Amino acid sequence: MQDQKCSKCGSRNVYKNTGKNWCQDGIVLQMIAVDRFTYQFKTEAFLCLDCRYLEIRAAETNTVYGDHKTLIEAVEASNNWAKVSV
């Protein structure tokens, strides 16, 4: 959707989050695990207003808070994410 066209329906009625304060105006990817620190990653989000398709990409590879785990380390250690099997 970065090319201003919805990847699901083809519409050009696509919006991108542009807020400077991403915690309030944007979307935050949050890793929550039992007895662990919550990891938060800045994202870039695109929304098609015609079909309501939402596409989110993690924009950061290091955490904003905590012990600075990478996105890969946080996902692999989380019990809330499972690898999709083909």
Chain segment 19-42, per-residue pLDDT in tens: 655 455 556 556 555 556 666 777
Phi, psi of 62 (to 5 degrees): -115, 150
**pLDDT of res. 12:** 95
pLDDT tens per residue across span 45-76: 889 999 999 998 876 666 666 667 777 887 78
pTM of this structure:
0.65
How is residue 54 written in tokens? 């939402």
Nearest one of 41, 74, 76, 81 to 57, comparing CA atoms: 41
